[in-house]
């Protein structure tokens, strides 16, 4: 596909749903959207670089209502969740958030959600962009499991950036603001207890509030904006540059449904040595030594153009050895950082490669890590 088609216009139709925070996010200056789980999510507000710099220094409110929840409730709820993921969920504490790669029976990725236990025998699976609910419904139907499965009216609100802690402490108190990474608690939102988790799609710290219903969403947004007035709080959205710098993968680009968790570099979440009940255990045991895997890549030269399709990766003689799925000019590091899916023969650190971008071939090299993640560890 040529890269000459960078943008299009999109009508905001009935079938593209909006979260209760959509209007406030629009008023905050959302300048474009993509569609995610049949909902809109904003792409940028000021320039992408300005949004990025602000995210790294202040605090932003993100309408990430497109992270839909699948509620699975009943005596077989944990069993059903476990069948679909190689991660051992029996060790999850009641206040933990568990990142769970989900797979079909052959071990191929179906989503990469975050799992929460709302109460005993009641889970929320906070999904990336696929109708994972249909997999659970099919499995439950086939095995006649004692569960109910539905999409509750829950729309996460991201509170992201280094000043997110200050904001949360002001609004919900020091105890709420001091929860650990990927832990959750309940906070009072206009009289209703809602789940606040220390999580989010950035490396800058912050929270996700699992907002229930639609009533009062404007008021909550306004309350947070007001409480954060001196923290330079703004409306925002996930930053492509920040998340690629940090090595946060995106389902449907960096992770596709023809990949295993091992290929996606998620082998540490695959407890295939335990009899967890995951239906793909046997399949994944055979696929634990992948021949291609996600790798951080540096692309030489000027800032890379926007990507509208995968870029082929070859060795220096031109033989295909993989693809680039995301690439950005990293403002902080003054170089192009990319996420590649690279053949084993060429995935070692410092291997020299060629990346065939939409404006020419560049030299490239396998990195030892993603700089945004290293800075945090």
CB nearer to its own copies: pick between 185 and 240:
240
Out of 60, 69, 82, 110, the residue judged to bind its own copies by CB under 8 A = 110
In sign, the C-alpha dihedral spanning 329, 330, 334, 337 is: negative
The bridge status of strand 114-119 relative to strand 97-99 is antiparallel
Asked whether position 50 contacts its own copies by CB under 8 A, the answer is: no
- What is the per-residue burial (b if ≥16 Cβ within 10 Å, else e) of 174-209? eebbebeeebbbebebeeeebbbbbbbbbbbbbbbb
Asked whether position 356 contacts its own copies by CB under 8 A, the answer is: no
- Which stretch, 11-19, 63-71, 314-322, 362-370, contacts its own copies (CB under 8 A)? 11-19
- What is the per-residue burial (b if ≥16 Cβ within 10 Å, else e) of 290-327? bebbbbbbbbeeeebeebeebbbbbbeeeeebbbbbbb
Subset of residues 82 to 101 that bind its own copies, contact rule: CB under 8 A = 83
- Which stretch, 51-59, 61-69, 219-227, 306-314, contacts its own copies (CB under 8 A)? 306-314
Asked whether position 259 contacts its own copies by CB under 8 A, the answer is: no
CB nearer to its own copies: pick between 2 and 229:
2
CB nearer to its own copies: pick between 110 and 293:
110
Distance CA 34, CA 38 (A): 9
Out of 55, 72, 89, 140, the residue judged to bind its own copies by CB under 8 A = 140
Cβ(329)–Cβ(241) under 8 Å? yes
Using CA atoms, how far residue 193 sits from 118, 166, 174, 204, 238, in Å, is 12, 20, 16, 26, 26
- Which stretch, 112-120, 174-182, 249-257, 342-350, contacts its own copies (CB under 8 A)? 249-257
What minimum distance in Å lies between the beta carbon of 304 and its own copies? 13
- How many chain residues are in contact with its own copies, going by CB under 8 A? 56
Distance CA 377, CA 373 (A): 7
CB nearer to its own copies: pick between 83 and 297:
83
Tokens (6 digits) for 212: 């229930």
Cβ(124)–Cβ(113) under 8 Å? no
Cβ(224)–Cβ(61) under 8 Å? yes
Asked whether position 21 contacts its own copies by CB under 8 A, the answer is: no
CB nearer to its own copies: pick between 206 and 265:
265
Out of 60, 73, 250, 357, the residue judged to bind its own copies by CB under 8 A = 250
Out of 62, 98, 124, 135, the residue judged to bind its own copies by CB under 8 A = 135
What minimum distance in Å lies between the beta carbon of 170 and its own copies? 30
Q: Using only the alpha carbons of the chain, give its radius of gyration.
A: 21
DSSP H or E stretch at residue 284: helix 281-286
CB atoms within 10 A of CB 130: 18
Subset of residues 312 to 341 that bind its own copies, contact rule: CB under 8 A = 325-326
What minimum distance in Å lies between the beta carbon of 11 and its own copies? 6
Asked whether position 132 contacts its own copies by CB under 8 A, the answer is: yes
Which of 103, 47, 111, 54 shows the shortest CA–CA distance to 249? 111
- Which stretch, 36-44, 67-75, 117-125, 178-186, contacts its own copies (CB under 8 A)? 36-44
Asked whether position 307 contacts its own copies by CB under 8 A, the answer is: yes
Asked whether position 286 contacts its own copies by CB under 8 A, the answer is: no
Asked whether position 40 contacts its own copies by CB under 8 A, the answer is: yes
Subset of residues 336 to 355 that bind its own copies, contact rule: CB under 8 A = none
Give the side-chain half-sphere CA count within 13 A for 110. 20
Catalog residues that contact its own copies under the rule CB under 8 A: 1-2, 5-16, 18, 22-23, 26, 30-35, 38, 40, 43, 83, 104-105, 110, 129-132, 134-143, 250, 252-253, 279, 306-310, 325-326
């Amino acid at each position: 596909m040529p890269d000459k088609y960078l943008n299009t216009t999109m009508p905001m139709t009935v079938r593209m749903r909006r979260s209760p925070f959509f209007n406030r996010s629009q008023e905050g200056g959302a300048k474009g959207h993509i569609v995610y789980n049949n909902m809109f999510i904003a792409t940028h507000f000021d320039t992408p670089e300005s949004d990025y710099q602000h995210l790294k220094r202040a605090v932003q409110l993100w309408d990430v209502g497109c992270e839909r929840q699948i509620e699975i409730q009943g005596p077989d709820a944990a069993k059903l969740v476990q069948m679909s993921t190689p991660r051992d969920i029996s060790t999850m504490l009641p206040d933990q958030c568990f990142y769970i790669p989900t797979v079909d029976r052959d071990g191929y990725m179906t989503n990469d959600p975050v799992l929460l236990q709302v109460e005993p025998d009641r889970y929320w699976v906070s999904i990336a962009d696929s109708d994972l609910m249909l997999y659970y419904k099919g499995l439950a139907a086939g095995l006649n499991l004692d569960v109910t499965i539905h999409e509750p009216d829950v729309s996460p609100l991201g509170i992201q950036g280094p000043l997110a802690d200050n904001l949360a402490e002001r609004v919900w108190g020091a105890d709420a603001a001091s929860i650990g990474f990927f832990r959750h608690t309940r906070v009072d939102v206009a009289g209703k207890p809602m789940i606040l988790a220390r999580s989010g799609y950035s490396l800058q710290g912050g929270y996700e509030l699992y907002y229930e219903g639609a009533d009062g969403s404007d008021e909550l947004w306004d309350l947070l904006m007001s409480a954060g007035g001196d923290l330079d709080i703004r409306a925002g959205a996930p930053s492509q540059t920040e998340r690629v710098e940090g090595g946060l993968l995106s389902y449907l680009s960096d992770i596709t449904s023809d990949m295993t968790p091992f290929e996606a570099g998620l082998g540490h979440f695959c407890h295939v040595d335990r009899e967890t009940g995951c239906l793909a255990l046997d399949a994944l045991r055979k696929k634990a030594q992948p021949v291609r895997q996600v790798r951080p890549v540096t692309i030489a030269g000027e800032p890379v153009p926007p990507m509208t399709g995968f870029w082929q990766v070859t060795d220096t003689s031109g033989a295909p050895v993989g693809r680039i799925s995301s690439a950005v000019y990293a403002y902080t590091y003054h170089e192009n950082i990319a996420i590649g899916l690279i053949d084993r023969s060429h995935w070692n650190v410092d291997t020299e490669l060629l990346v065939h971008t939409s404006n020419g071939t560049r030299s490239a090299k396998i990195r030892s890590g993603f700089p945004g993640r290293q800075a945090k560890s």
